[in-house]
């Protein structure tokens, strides 16, 4: 489930309905326990409801994305429900994902305050 090599993304966590397992990338062990627990709940509940494999990943620029895939012969996977649930998670957890993105940019990409540009540039 670790898709780090060559794809420009780093998996933060994920779950598999096939293996009934949850994965958390220990590279992010510094995250608060409450965030780790929330991520686990999101991933496991997604795969229990939809099926397949669900991952939360960091893009190269630090943005958080969600990725889901399923086996070709998995006729129980809910493809429509997958898109709907991803959108619901994105909407309900927007603040957490923004915080995770900031964490990644500061602690992994080592961006400075100036590089983060957290101010609104509307003039």
Task: Write down the pLDDT at residue 118.
Answer: 61
Mean pLDDT of 13-41: 97
Q: Average pLDDT of the chain?
A: 89
Residue-wise pLDDT tens digits, 57-102: 999 999 999 999 999 999 999 999 999 999 999 999 999 999 999 9
pTM score, whole prediction:
0.85
Residue 48, pLDDT > 70, answer: yes
- Cα–Cα distance list, 41 to 4, 13, 56, 69, 121 (Å): 22, 11, 12, 18, 36
**DSSP 8-state symbol, 57:** E
């Amino acid at each position: 489930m670790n898709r780090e090599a060559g794809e420009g993304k780093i998996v933060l966590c994920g779950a598999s309905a096939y293996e009934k397992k949850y994965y958390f990338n220990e590279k992010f062990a510094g995250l608060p326990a409450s965030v780790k627990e929330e991520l686990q709940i999101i991933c496991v509940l997604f795969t229990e409801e939809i099926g397949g494999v669900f991952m939360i990943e960091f893009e190269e620029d630090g943005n958080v994305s969600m990725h889901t895939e399923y086996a070709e012969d998995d006729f129980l996977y809910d493809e429509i429900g997958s898109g709907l649930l991803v959108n619901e998670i994105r909407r309900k957890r927007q603040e957490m994902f923004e915080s995770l993105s900031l964490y990644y940019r500061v602690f992994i990409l080592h961006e400075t305050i100036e590089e983060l540009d957290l101010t609104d540039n509307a003039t």
